[in-house]
A and B are shown apart, each in its own frame.
Chain A
Amino acid sequence: MKKFWALFFWFWPLVALWLCAVAPANNWWFPSPPLSTLGHQIDGLFYLILIIVTVTFVGTQFALGYALWKGAVKEPSGKAWFSHGSHKLEIIWTIVPAFILVFISLTQLDVLAEIRVLSNFPKEARNAPVAEVMARQFEWRIRYPKPGTQLMTEPRPGDLYYVNEVHVPATQPTMINLRTQDVQHAFFVPRLRVKQDAVPGLIIPVWFEIEKAGEYELLCAELCGWGHYKMKARIIAETPEQVQAYLARLEQEQNDDGVADEQSSQ
């Protein structure tokens, strides 16, 4: 029975590892490879940490199981090792993890600066935000500047509005201004590895460069009330020309008073 317990503590980490190993094949892993430039860097850092953590996990769980095994096979009359510790071991297992942890921290800094520090944003994106994304319970309101003008902080006549669908150019750095009209929300685009809270009273710039044209889920990641789960929207990445065409269409729809339609049908 003693051996059973030692094997028990060896067995479950193997199950955990097996589950992680088969996860990607079963679609229990990232929803897709990263589809933004920053996403690649984030995933790279994730896999770096994953390797370090897996080695540590295997090492410590094996050692724990082995300590149990040693106790299990000891004769019942056996004597425990009388020891208060080892100064040398303490130093080793303080310094080695310290170096690893500092190393992990240092690897993160550049990417963090690239994602968050405004002065590091690509210039073309920083100077011309494509849209304002205004979160509210429980939808995303998009405001584009009137074609040919710059996006201003406060709405201006001629601005174009749409709900729950953001059209942005692919393959070029893009910035949006994130706001909220009521409570806190968070702008989360899993396939782009983008997440940023929308904080009442603040305008927060968010940039990304989508690598492939297509549709990307946008959802809310900060509890915002009973309908938190249904703030479902999408980002549509397409060529700059297609974005222009979309905005032109939007402008036309928005300015359409219905009079022309009526006349032509008569």
Chain B
Amino acid sequence: MATITPALDTHTHDDHAHGHGHHEQSFISKYVFSTDHKVIGIQFLITTILMLMVGGALALAVRWQLAFPWENMPIIGRLFGLFQTEGGQISPEFYTMLFTMHASVMIFLVIIPVLAGAFGNFLIPLQIGADDMAFPVLNMLSYWFMWPAILCFGISFVAGGATAGPGNGWTSYPVLSDIASAAPGSGAAQTWWLFGLTLVGVSSMMGSVNYMTTIINMRAPGMTLFRMPLTIWSMFITAILQAFALPVLTAAGFMLVFDRLHELLPTSIHSGFFIPSGLVVNNAAPTVGGGQPLLWQHLFWFYSHPAVYIMLLPAMGMVSDMLSCMSRKPVFGYKPMVYSMAAIAGLGFIVWGHHMFTSGMNPALGMTFMTSTMMIALPSAIKVFNWIGTIWDGNIQFNAVFLNCAAFVALFIVGGLSGIFMAAVPVDIYFHDTYFIVAHFHYVLFGATLFGVFAGIQFWFPKMFGRLMSDRVQKVHFVLTFIGMNGTFFPMHLLGIAGMPRRYADPYLHGYLEHLLPMNQFMTISAIVMGCAQFLLLGNFFYSIFRGEKCGRNPWQANGLEWSAPSPPGHGNFDVPPVCYRGPYEYSSPEAEALGQDFILQTSPPPAGVVRTAVAHH
């Protein structure tokens, strides 16, 4: 790195993307088994957008049953002739599969890979000024391990028969998930589900190692840690979370596989990690063992609670970047933003027990976990205040990128505040496993993360394809999604307060819930509106790849290193090796004004006299 000579003219609009010679690649190595981080990022992005539609369709089927219980399912019921014996209805075991696979697809095949896989891959080298990831082949593998995972999840749909997909929830608590006789979906379907889960983990782990190494070792000259965009900070912290939490889930997954493997293969491997002795499940012979089902919950949540932040932190970082750019203002409190992300990650490791407040674990543990859980609201609050501070008195560009980011903040507030009810153990005892929790995590995962992703797709689209997405279509998409989202999920708070448990195929069997049917119908209609609105995003995305308005290097007049590269950047990213001279958020600074603009690229050198000292200093 030390040998780089600073090129003062970073604004060469040379179409030739790379100075050094480069042989032409075949189609397969360029677009399919590519080691280019940008191609891999776009592969992740397109895969996850398609999986978003799959997960959404599963969610709509869940909503159908809740609004019109036991009525013939439109389209799908007849199309596949799935439920001929039931006359086109959703059967209760199919319902358990629907919500299980909705969560599994959305969490493992959409949210985690879209943040770390798509945006992490695409943005990390570009924003730190590297020509690629540290381990390009490993990077390629991290994408291609997603497909065996998708295949395993796919097999799990049909392995146990068409109507007996995995039905134990995405949390797969044993012993329900551990003994084949416990449920129609607990047989082969559950084993395939576990294989899929493990493969997703392998993919994430390969990404995580790569991100950490790249961010630590491959920053451009002058890109100090505290000159990194918050996106990079968030990706870095997320990668650390992945690296430390994931092995625990993988281990737990294998333990569960070993418990169940004898049901799938003629093998003598038959452990009982999670099975206590003497259980009579569905009139089968009593179990032998000495296992402990709570062990799974501890191991599972030791990963899956940090995973909640894996599903949120990168969006927080990206939104900080975009809010700053669209308000033409520096991020308010850059360092507090970094420290609060680090605090969320650190505390994230010691709050897993709040998922187990009603599980019968030691109440003294409950008190400890309650306090740590309450404290994790603090860095979240600090971030919200700083985002509002970032917008405050800015020169706001009211485009769809900004609106989606503002929605991120507004909806994250709701998700954060509803979390406080559930952090408080006595109150949680009532709300646990009701729709209140369903409302809470959809406000965080949909309201915050997905709105951040919608903004991010539009914001970095020009860098990916050299063209702009239609802002007008994105605004319509924003309004419909925002209204549909609130119409679907806000009433869930009230359902939770009314005591409606989650994962019920027919809550109206219980008299005290009967009157909630009309509200559920309203929510389902909102969800259908929201689901249809996603076709706008899909259409706009694919149309704009080919027909969008062409743009130059820096259509948003942003500061980051990625905007000094061509759009789209060629193999190797930068035509001129970038040198970083300042932080990423110097919008409207006096230095920028001296140039007659309200932004100043991180690569834009200070006046001549200062350059030498800056480089010598490095």
Binding site for B on A (CB under 8 A): 1-2, 5, 9, 12-13, 15-16, 19-20, 23, 27-31, 38, 41-42, 45-46, 49-50, 52-53, 56-57, 60-61, 63-64, 67-68, 70-72, 74, 78-86, 89-90, 93-94, 97-98, 101-102, 104-105, 108-109, 111-113, 115-117, 136-137, 181-184, 186, 188, 190-191, 193-197, 199-202, 204, 217, 219-230, 232
Whether B413 pairs with A31 at a CB distance below 8 angstroms is no
Beyond contacts A23-B494, A183-B279, A196-B360: 12 other A-B pairs, Cβ-Cβ < 8 A, are A12-B482, A29-B497, A57-B414, A80-B327, A89-B385, A90-B386, A97-B378, A219-B510, A223-B96, A225-B176, A229-B504, A232-B509
Does B438 have its Cβ within 8 Å of any Cβ on chain A?
A: no
State A183–B371 Cα separation when bound (angstroms): 30
Residues of B with C-beta under 8 A to A67? 388, 391-394
Closest B-chain residue to A188, C-beta based?
B501
Within 267-299 of B, Cβ neighbours of A (below 8 Å) are at: 275-282, 292-294
Using a Cβ–Cβ cut-off of 8 Å, how many residues does chain B contribute to the interface with A?
110
Whether B413 pairs with A199 at a CB distance below 8 angstroms is no
Closest A-chain residue to B392, C-beta based?
A67
Whether A81 pairs with B168 at a CB distance below 8 angstroms is no
Whether B279 pairs with A200 at a CB distance below 8 angstroms is yes
Whether A223 pairs with B169 at a CB distance below 8 angstroms is yes
Residues of A with C-beta under 8 A to B138? none
CB A182 to nearest CB in B, in angstroms, measures: 4
Whether A225 pairs with B391 at a CB distance below 8 angstroms is no
CB B157 to nearest CB in A, in angstroms, measures: 16
Binding site for A on B (CB under 8 A): 91-93, 95-96, 167-169, 173, 175-176, 179, 182-184, 275-282, 292-294, 327-334, 336, 358-360, 363-364, 366-367, 370-371, 374-375, 377-378, 381-382, 384-386, 388-389, 391-396, 398, 403, 406, 409-410, 413-414, 417-418, 420-421, 424-427, 429-430, 432-434, 482, 486, 490-491, 493-495, 497-499, 501, 503-507, 509-512, 515-516, 519, 585, 587-590, 598
State A201–B168 Cα separation when bound (angstroms): 19
Whether A72 pairs with B370 at a CB distance below 8 angstroms is no
Closest B-chain residue to A39, C-beta based?
B430
Whether A228 pairs with B504 at a CB distance below 8 angstroms is yes
State A45–B413 Cα separation when bound (angstroms): 21
Residues of A with C-beta under 8 A to B491? 19, 28
Residues of B with C-beta under 8 A to A38? 426
Residues of B with C-beta under 8 A to A82? 329-330, 587-590
Whether B396 pairs with A85 at a CB distance below 8 angstroms is no
**Known contacts A80-B327, A223-B96; A195 and B432 CB within 8 A of each other:** yes
CB B323 to nearest CB in A, in angstroms, measures: 10
Residues of B with C-beta under 8 A to A224? 176
Find A1's partner among B331, B334, B398, B493 (CB 8 Å cutoff).
B398
Whether B329 pairs with A232 at a CB distance below 8 angstroms is no
Whether A226 pairs with B167 at a CB distance below 8 angstroms is yes
Find A72's partner among B398, B417, B506 (CB 8 Å cutoff).
B398
CB B475 to nearest CB in A, in angstroms, measures: 9
State A223–B406 Cα separation when bound (angstroms): 36
Find B516's partner among A28, A30, A136, A197 (CB 8 Å cutoff).
A28
